[in-house]
Amino acid sequence: MRDLMRWLYEKATDWLTKQGPPSPTPLCDFNRLGFELRIGDVILVEGRSRVSEVIKLITQSPWSHSALYIGRLYDIRDPDLREVIGYHYDGDPEHQLVIEALMGRGTVITPLSEYRHDHLRICRPTGLSPSDAEAVIGYAVKHLGWDYDVRQILDLLRFFFPWYFLPRRWRSSLFQHNAGMPTRTVCSTLIAEAFMSVDFPILPFIDRNEDGSVRFFKRNPRLAAPRDFDYSPYFSIIKYPYLGLNDVGLYHRLPWTDDSIYNDERHAFNPPPSKALQREPEVEDDIVEEIVLDEETVASLGQAPPASGWRKHQAFAFLRRRG
């Protein structure tokens, strides 16, 4: 029976995590993004799998996954930490690496190049010291090999859902504290806990006392979602578009087309408007209106008097289109 359940779980995981086709033209410049990354940056991913679409729908955000950038193997200054990372990753030491929690794989080290064809965004912790950045990485490294907490994802989706049949807290793993040593996690929870370990805020609850002083409360990391790093005022958002627009007015030189409008992947392009629809409508029911203007008024409008002379109450005929 246990083997059957494991087989069903693996099949369901494969179906949920199957990647859809990438966009033929990515939104971000991957090479430039990789060049600008710093150790401790959080990378948001707009996933292409079925479970990613569910997460994006429920959290009302394009970001379905988050990963922690740890640099290249030789960027890690702590030799013990570098040894642990090397034990879990035996690839090219020149590759840029991230730590992430993935359904079906658990907490692993992955080359950044795995996301070359995805829409990415850098969330940089503002003012994070180099020593704390390495401490954040050290916390995440300690969780390498942990399983992915599918139950937590299901409870998180139930928590975010706008309507529900069961109370959000009923039998929910999100609010269980001190229930033994956990051995499972999800992507955003792992990263949130890593930053909490050095007291770096993400979306803290701030309480103001009567004397005007304030207190910061750490939020439950199990409620963290990828969008929180994008929304947090303590993270700088860094974007590298596929076509950079650093020069003033450079957007005028983009290869825009006026022929059609793009909708989405399903409906693609609207056909260009018919030439018959682009013709100027004919003037119907024109009304000739006689307006009497004096010489001073006409001069103010920039009109020169006729060569044959000017009569003070010269009549001008204007066409006015009805409607």
Residue pLDDT, tens place only, 196-234: 999 999 999 999 888 889 999 998 888 888 999 999 999
Q: In angstroms, what CA-CA distances link 178 with 148, 168, 169, 173, 293?
A: 19, 20, 16, 11, 89
CA distance 197 to 255: 48
CA distance 41 to 36: 10
pTM: 0.71
Q: Which residue type occupies 258?
A: D
What number is the average pLDDT over the span 12-17?
78
Q: How many CB atoms lie within 10 A of CB 55?
A: 24
Strand locations in 9-153 (E): 42-46, 65-71, 97-102, 106-111, 119-125, 147-148
pLDDT digits (tens, 9 = 90+) for 159-187: 555 555 555 444 444 444 444 445 557 78
What number is the average pLDDT over the span 131-136?
96
CA distance 100 to 222: 15
Q: What is the pLDDT of residue 192?
A: 95
Supply the angle between the helices 187-196 and 130-141 in degrees, to the nearest 10: 140
**φ and ψ of 214, to 5 deg:** -120, 155
Q: Contact, 177 vs 188, CB < 8 A?
A: no
CA distance 323 to 94: 70
According to DSSP, residue 118 is labeled S
List the domains of the chain with CATH numbers.
Answer: 14-253 (3.90.1720.10), 287-320 (no CATH)
Q: What is the pLDDT of residue 235?
A: 98
pLDDT band (50, 70, 90) for residue 85 = very high
Q: In angstroms, what CA-CA distances link 92 with 31, 74, 112, 285?
A: 18, 11, 12, 78
If we measure between CA atoms, which residue out of 228, 226, 189 comes closest to residue 205? 228
pLDDT band (50, 70, 90) for residue 291 = very low
